[in-house]
A and B are shown apart, each in its own frame.
Chain A
């Protein structure tokens, strides 16, 4: 403990010496950019941008009205035999699943999760300009591990959760929660810079956007 304390004191003293020439309390030249949060339900442009960016990342996207979410989930999970869901998920979304074992996550081990085909979650916020979905792992999204180990992630996001750009999303997030930003399926470009999807995270990302039909 004393060793840790000594290292801490010495590093802070070194920093003080190194920055002695800098006047204290000089305010920052440029404050962070102001933001206006607009959402895709109010701005159809954002919806188009969001879908376009998701597709660019080879995510599969469907847009459905609220009463058809269960149908959409059943369609994308046609191949799955087992699915894990967080405790707080809207169960009506799963009402049309047939021949699929539904396991609610109760601290399943990584090895148990490895035997499950797919996972269905909600989301916290979507970013139109980058096609990103942010999870804050609230009860309708569950622990970080459940959206990571299974091969297939189905994410349901409401159109009013989609914002224009990264700063809008950051302003909505709670920094004390664990946060996972997802843009398409996992990928690597480490081999001759050829993009390959599906490395360690899910190989397939299905996004169901819930929007009222006008």
Chain B
């Protein structure tokens, strides 16, 4: 068996421009930049406060990383254990090699139950496989029930943050979207809706409640899947998760194979790490755990779809596999100076920010423009590693991925040519002096003005001010002021 297949880039992100190009458009959106700066600063402060309360945060991080590594290093065994426990508890386990297969499994399950609509818990993985689109194609309406996902869905928009998908929208924009879009898909927004967050949340509650009460099928992801018990865990705030996991008759959970944790006890570690890293709370309002079917309580028809979709390709990379520890907390996004300015859309994937910059190239390869540019979407400041609750060394992985991208590109890239020319110049002092003379001539011509474009250094110089070459090199100055001495 050769290397496992990569994830196919979905139609939504196919042909997505390289990060710098996509980022330039985002940077010009001052409203979004203001929204993001405010939101990330708020959440950073909250996280710092609650992480500071924990006596041995570093010990927790080490324990979290060890638990995930243990699961990943023995993944086949853990998945078989998970499957056996789920099956013993009355759940049906399905396996999906890629997005298409997962979507087919879910669509067939929904169709077999004669459902025309499903309610959805916020889930990254169902966005990754574009399940909503597959359901719509099959004539099934998929209702997002998380407030931010609802805002994104009603706004015909894409999520821009793992935790707060509508982080790029402010209250006025949200009010507009609700007034304009709700009526078409259910209970309309109240005509006198203001942009107060409490009023907006109330409008969402009323709009979604009728959907919760009549739903026959729900679709969820899972934050954790416990191998030794078969327990799935969903961590949330609003109660929409509980509604979906409790009220319908059928529950289908799509779970990436990297979500496995070895033991139920490991949840003690993760339920300390995740809420504090994610929302900056000691604990999120609601966490649901369920183990297959509970008699007389909640869904009696329970399905779990275990998904690969490029994860085994990431697992095959000895350097990259630690990225699969990610528990999707979004702490790395909130501390990232690049993400804070560009927002999530520029990353060309549902996984934005620093984790996206490593996860996407690992899952999808570095063949496309956007995936090849992502390892460069970073200043390598290291804040993401500090913040990561499972100690993923994102900066080191970025550097390794950069070298992979460079190795891929031809030896005739402008950068490679420039480096070879520089090497040739520096190799001989006569060539070096000649080059310096040429530079100082340029400096005198510029007269101290800043340089922003240099032929052949386009991308590099656009993002930086190139220092004006000096009017005189050190060697020239020495020759001019030390006439009487030996010069060599």
Contacts and interface: CB of A to CB of B under 8 A. Distances in A.
Contacts, number: 248
A87 to B, nearest CB: 11
Interface stretch (A75-83, A171-179, A206-214): A171-179
Nearest to A22: B73
A92 interface: no
A184 B285 contact: yes
Interface string A1-30: 000100110111111111101101010111
A129 interface: yes
B456 interface: no
Nearest to B245: A144
B308 A199 contact: no
Contact of B297 (A21, A30, A178, A183): A178
B376 interface: no
Interface stretch (B197-205, B398-406, B427-435, B439-447): B197-205
A65 interface: no
Nearest to B281: A183
Given A22-B73, A32-B268, A199-B205, A15 B79 contact: yes
Given A180-B242, A186-B286, A191-B200, A175 B229 contact: yes
Interface stretch (B19-27, B94-102, B336-344): B94-102
B469 to A, nearest CB: 47
B: interface residue count bin? 35 or more
Interface in A181-214: 181-194, 196, 198-202
A8 B101 CA distance: 12
Interface string B77-111: 00110000000010000111100010000000000
B378 interface: no
A129 B286 contact: no
Contact of A186 (B38, B69, B239): B239
A16 B38 CA distance: 45
Contacts of B290: 178-179
Interface stretch (B310-318, B349-357, B380-388): B310-318
Contacts of A10: 97
Given A10-B97, A30-B66, A181-B286, A18 B315 contact: yes
A149 B97 CA distance: 37
Given A8-B95, A32-B266, A110-B213, A192 B170 contact: yes
Contacts of A149: 247
B95 A191 contact: no
B264 A179 contact: no
Contacts of B200: 191, 196
A7 B96 contact: yes
A111 interface: yes
Interface of A: 4, 7-8, 10-19, 21-22, 24, 26, 28-30, 32-33, 35, 53, 56-57, 107, 110-111, 114, 127, 129-132, 137, 143-145, 148-149, 165-167, 169-171, 173, 175-194, 196, 198-202
Given A191-B197, A201-B286, 17 more contacts: A7-B94, A10-B97, A11-B308, A13-B1, A19-B72, A57-B285, A143-B297, A165-B272, A170-B267, A180-B287, A183-B286, A185-B285, A191-B147, A198-B202, A200-B238, A200-B239, A201-B242
The 9 A-B residue pairs with the shortest CB-CB distance, nearest first, are A201-B239, A18-B316, A200-B239, A167-B268, A181-B287, A130-B283, A186-B239, A199-B238, A190-B148
